């Protein structure tokens, strides 16, 4: 059976279920507007480890282990782990999965990784290759600043367009049974690059990719904003979100307050000095596994489009004059609650 | 239908077919024992670009485009691209797919990426999510040395256990129809770490992961070396290959000359001064898409186990005292020729 709709969308025959999930964030995220939704808030940026990299690995491992506990299964029931992160060579995930001890597909989708991992996990379940799998990702403010920008001790100034990498992780157990929210469609992004070269303006770079994927989904499925209660992007931030609204409006869509962004929701723009908002793989992952899924379980949202966005450059290639290629992956979630 | 065998293996219901493939390598690889098998040999390490990173991106893009041409389809027929590489944030693949313009799942499996991408590509086809997809990866000696070790100009000495990162790429078009070699089983690796901390001894670090995956495959399928004409690992090199033989022998397997390694085959150990052999994502990818698949098409090998191995650390985490976690993914290939 061929499960494609249009050019980029899959409609699942037996929509996989979210059987368990878990969110864990750092101190700053735990002081923000979503503080009551997170499962764990860790005040120590090193999480008891001796480096930020090892701390990030412990964040994602904690999210994966607890998501499995919440699913009321054991780790040996997990057939595959789909995970990745921002650190060079994805070491946060690699070292976490060393502890987990299950078959592993490592991913790199930058900040789109939560939607990428969920997409592949859903294909894996619906295709009959597994009964239970994990999809997860993480990021860490200190590890990211050190790697992509400046050492923290340098105290570099952040321009107004910049975003704040979320310290946190989210993990989901996807299953072929259960009563949790289901994944009924995915739309996989193409790489879109409109020529932005400013690494401190990721929202502007990523907005066209988000628009492209959302428009493709609506075209492929013949659905519209009316069919969803919430359409939430990953980490466009306040500036990128405005650009996305413009792009969707230009393409004939009537954009309402249904269109939101995890990077805007996770921090208080006025009180927390994060400039354009949150970012990083852990941003959309921790918001999905707290605010979004918990609101769905309560019946506040019945149909959600989760659209995580990623910027696929690195500092070397932007220093060589290249622009920033971006991608957005979409996952359609639903619930009968 | 549930397609798992044992703990780690999938048996495909409708084994996907390799409809087209293409190999491209650098000058040194083009002087080695497999020179007559490669589709393109590029003598210029920069491939006409102004950086090694951009050159690597052009290598993998060339491999992908030509694999599609060889499959006698057009790029718009490609529904997904599964690719990744060794450069931080996988930019070789990301920028290549910007040119390709098709939906993209970015992967990070270090030197196991060719088997990882083939595994996910095969699941995607067999699951009914696509008719034609690309699986590809690349590596570049100069870009890797600069990133993982020393600037080339420094002229660092290489210890006898070190391996030589292959400059090259390989791409495969996997399809739900055609007469090419098929993928009938995959065994997805777990992260294995026996405590090796020497970044110049990757073969020793990776051999236990290769042993674990090969043993799991034989256990899950109740098959043995007798069922295959060739069992070829990715880039254990000469030292790692000896360790793998020991590990398999200790586990009761009779190991014959059927057990080979892409990293050993691609260079002439005596003439080419590569110490323990070739390595890098491009090593197993370029050997698969030249020697292995061309030998299968000629009927020289009918059944092949392709087992690509990856070391999942980065320089930061090894400098923090961590050991090297490794993984091996196995793909079983067959042909009626």
Q: Which residue is it, tokens 């701390």?
A: A55
In whole angstroms, give the CA distance from residue A149 to residue A109: 19
Task: Pull the structure tokens for residue B102.
Answer: 């098709």
Chain A, nearest residue to B188 by Cα: A103
Going from the C-alpha of B63 to that of each of B70, B97, B177, the distances in angstroms are 10, 12, 21
Mean per-residue pLDDT of chain A: 97
The residue length of chain B stands at: 337
Tally Cβ neighbours within 10 Å of residue B250. Answer: 9
Chain B, nearest residue to A190 by Cα: B103
Q: Do B188 and A106 touch (CB under 8 A)?
A: no
pLDDT at A158: 87
Task: Pull the structure tokens for residue A8.
Answer: 């980029």
Strand, coil or helix: what is A107?
A: strand
Per-residue pLDDT averaged across A73-98, rounded? 98
Q: Which runs of E-coded beta strand occur in B123-273?
A: 132-139, 164-165, 168-175, 182-187, 230-233, 259-261
Chain A, nearest residue to B5 by Cα: A129
Task: Pull the structure tokens for residue B218.
Answer: 């034989």
Going from the C-alpha of B114 to that of each of A159, A284, B83, the distances in angstroms are 40, 29, 8
pLDDT tens figures, A156-186:
888 889 999 999 999 999 999 999 999 999 9
CATH code, residues B182-334 = 3.40.47.40
**Distance of residue A108 Cα from the nearest chain B Cα, in angstroms:** 5
Report the complex ipTM.
0.98
pLDDT tens figures, B234-288:
999 999 999 999 999 999 999 989 999 999 999 998 999 999 999 999 999 999 9
Closest CA to A275 of A147, A103, A160: A160
**Distance of residue B87 Cα from the nearest chain A Cα, in angstroms:** 8
pLDDT tens figures, A275-331:
999 999 999 999 999 999 999 999 999 999 999 999 999 999 999 999 999 999 999
Chain B, nearest residue to A10 by Cα: B129
Confidence of residue B25 (pLDDT cuts 50, 70, 90): very high
Contacts of A13 (CB under 8 A, 6+ apart): A1, A3, A126, B128
Confidence of residue B137 (pLDDT cuts 50, 70, 90): very high
Strand, coil or helix: what is B304?
A: strand
Strand, coil or helix: what is A301?
A: coil
Mean per-residue pLDDT of chain B: 97
Task: Decide: B157 and A161 in contact? Cβ < 8 Å.
Answer: no
The domains of chain A are located at: 4-175, 182-334
A122, A126, A128, A132 alpha-carbon torsion, rounded to 10°: 40
Q: Do A107 and B102 touch (CB under 8 A)?
A: no
Residues in chain A closer than 8 A to B100 (CB atoms):
191
A139, A122, B94, B112 alpha-carbon torsion, rounded to 10°: 90
Strand, coil or helix: what is B308?
A: strand
pLDDT tens figures, B65-108:
999 999 999 999 999 999 999 999 999 999 999 999 999 999 99
Q: Please give the backbone phi and psi of residue B129, each rounded to the nearest 5 degrees, phi first.
A: -95, -10
The conformation of residue B105, written as its DSSP 8-state character, comes to: E
Residues in chain A closer than 8 A to B316 (CB atoms):
53, 87-88, 91
Per-residue pLDDT averaged across B122-130, rounded? 98
pLDDT score of A337 more than 80: no
* Threshold 0.90, pTM exceeds: yes
pLDDT at B224: 96
pLDDT at A155: 86
Confidence of residue B336 (pLDDT cuts 50, 70, 90): confident
Residues in chain B closer than 8 A to A107 (CB atoms):
105-108
Tally Cβ neighbours within 10 Å of residue B256. Answer: 10
Per-residue pLDDT averaged across A77-83, rounded? 98
Contacts of B295 (CB under 8 A, 6+ apart): B230, B301
pLDDT tens figures, A184-199:
999 999 999 999 999 8
**Distance of residue B295 Cα from the nearest chain A Cα, in angstroms:** 29
Tally Cβ neighbours within 10 Å of residue B241. Answer: 22
pLDDT score of A55 more than 90: yes
pLDDT tens figures, B191-227:
999 999 998 899 999 999 999 999 999 999 999 999 9
Task: Pull the structure tokens for residue A291.
Answer: 């605010």
In whole angstroms, give the CA distance from residue A112 to residue A328: 6
pLDDT tens figures, A139-155:
999 999 999 998 888 88
B78 alpha carbon, distance to own chain's centre: 21
pLDDT tens figures, B294-326:
999 999 999 999 999 999 999 999 999 999 999
A261, A264, A267, A271 alpha-carbon torsion, rounded to 10°: -160
Residues in chain A closer than 8 A to B54 (CB atoms):
317, 320, 322
In whole angstroms, give the CA distance from residue B233 to residue B328: 9
**Distance of residue A144 Cα from the nearest chain B Cα, in angstroms:** 12
pLDDT at A28: 98
Residues in chain A closer than 8 A to B123 (CB atoms):
123-124, 127, 129
Residues in chain B closer than 8 A to A80 (CB atoms):
188
State the pairing for strand pair A17-26/A168-175.
Answer: antiparallel
Sign of CA dihedral A157, A202, A85, B50: negative
**Distance of residue B35 Cα from the nearest chain A Cα, in angstroms:** 30
Q: Which CATH architecture fits A4-175?
A: 3-Layer(aba) Sandwich (3.40)
The conformation of residue B57, written as its DSSP 8-state character, comes to: H
Sign of CA dihedral A246, A224, A304, A80: negative
Residue B237, phi-psi category: left (phi > 0), alpha (psi -120 to 50), beta (remainder): left
Q: Please give the backbone phi and psi of residue B92, each rounded to the nearest 5 degrees, phi first.
A: -60, -45
Chain A, nearest residue to B88 by Cα: A88
Closest CA to A326 of B135, B62, B91, B139: B91
In whole angstroms, give the CA distance from residue A285 to residue A268: 18
Q: Do A89 and B109 touch (CB under 8 A)?
A: no
Q: Do B191 and A104 touch (CB under 8 A)?
A: yes
B45, B47, B52, B54 alpha-carbon torsion, rounded to 10°: -170
Confidence of residue A81 (pLDDT cuts 50, 70, 90): very high
Confidence of residue B337 (pLDDT cuts 50, 70, 90): confident
């Amino acid at each position: 059976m061929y499960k494609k709709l249009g050019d980029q969308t899959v409609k699942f025959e037996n929509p996989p279920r979210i059987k368990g999930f878990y969110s864990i964030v750092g101190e700053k995220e735990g002081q923000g507007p979503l503080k009551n939704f997170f499962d764990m808030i860790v005040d120590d940026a090193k999480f008891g480890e001796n480096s930020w990299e090892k701390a990030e690995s412990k964040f994602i491992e904690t999210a994966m282990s607890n998501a499995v506990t919440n699913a009321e299964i054991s780790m040996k029931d997990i057939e595959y782990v789909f995970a990745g992160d921002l650190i060079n060579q994805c070491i946060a995930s690699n070292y976490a999965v060393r502890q987990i001890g299950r078959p592993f597909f490592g991913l790199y989708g930058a900040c789109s990784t939560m939607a990428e991992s969920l997409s592949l996990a859903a294909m894996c379940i619906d295709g009959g290759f597994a009964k239970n799998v994990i999809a997860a990702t993480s990021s860490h403010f200190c590890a990211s600043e050190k790697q992509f920008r400046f050492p923290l001790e340098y105290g570099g100034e952040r321009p107004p367009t910049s975003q704040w990498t979320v310290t946190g992780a989210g993990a989901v157990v996807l299953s072929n049974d259960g009563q949790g929210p289901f994944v009924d469609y995915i739309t996989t992004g193409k790489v879109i690059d409109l020529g932005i070269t400013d690494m401190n303006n990721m929202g502007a770079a990523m907005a066209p990719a988000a628009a492209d994927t959302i428009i493709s989904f609506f075209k492929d499925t013949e659905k519209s904003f009316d069919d969803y209660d919430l359409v939430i992007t990953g980490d466009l931030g306040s500036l990128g979100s405005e650009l996305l609204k413009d792009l969707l409006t230009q393409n004939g869509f009537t954009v309402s307050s249904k269109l939101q962004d995890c990077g805007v929701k996770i921090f208080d723009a006025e009180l927390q000095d994060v400039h354009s908002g949150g970012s990083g793989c852990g941003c959309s992952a921790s918001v999905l596994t707290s605010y979004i899924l918990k609101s769905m379980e309560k019946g506040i949202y019945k149909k959600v489009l989760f659209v995580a966005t990623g910027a696929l450059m690195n500092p070397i290639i932007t220093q060589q004059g290249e622009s920033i290629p971006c991608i957005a992956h979409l996952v359609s979630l639903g619930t009968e609650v």
